[in-house]
Amino acid sequence: MNPTMQDITIQDLDSPIGTMMLAASESGVCALDFAERRPAILGRLERRFGRLMLRRPHRPDATAERLRAYFAGELQALDAIPVDPGGTPFQREVWSALRAVRPGRTISYGALAGRIQRRSASRAVGAANARNPVAIVIPCHRVIGSDGRLTGYAGGLNRKQWLLDHEEKHG
């Protein structure tokens, strides 16, 4: 038996906070993370899709252009990017609520749990946030601790701070 292969388009994008790896299925962005995490990104994609057929685009696509526009200060450019993050129904609910947090704003885990009508689930919301496979487009960097402090970010707190400062400056 020859299992089917999932076509995934991958490309690296330079950004002010480091090179990012963008991976997309035919349904949307399924991974966006910092390129130094490439082995982990590919591992997650293989666990989700099985065998992968990785392809490079002939030229940058609309998603890459929207990400470049975001980094150039057009914060709303992220809104039009389709995502295909996978995940559980709960994770997708959290990630959808995250996309509703506007650039330049922050939200606590508890407040995000309240937005999805699960006020006692702030830890589960934190866990879903930590498993977000589509950084920046699903803006997990906008989630902060209940005391207003920056909390964990897979790309590092310095990058999280840069993103928040960038959004505040251009928002």
Rg (CA), the chain: 16
Q: Which of 13, 17, 113, 140 is catalytic?
A: 140
Closest of 139, 10, 3, 129 to residue 63, by C-alpha? 10
CA–centroid distance for 71 within its chain: 14
Torsion angle, alpha carbons of 84, 86, 92, 95, to 10: -60
CB atoms within 10 A of CB 66: 19
- Residue 140 bears catalytic tag: yes
> Which residues does the annotation mark as catalytic?
140
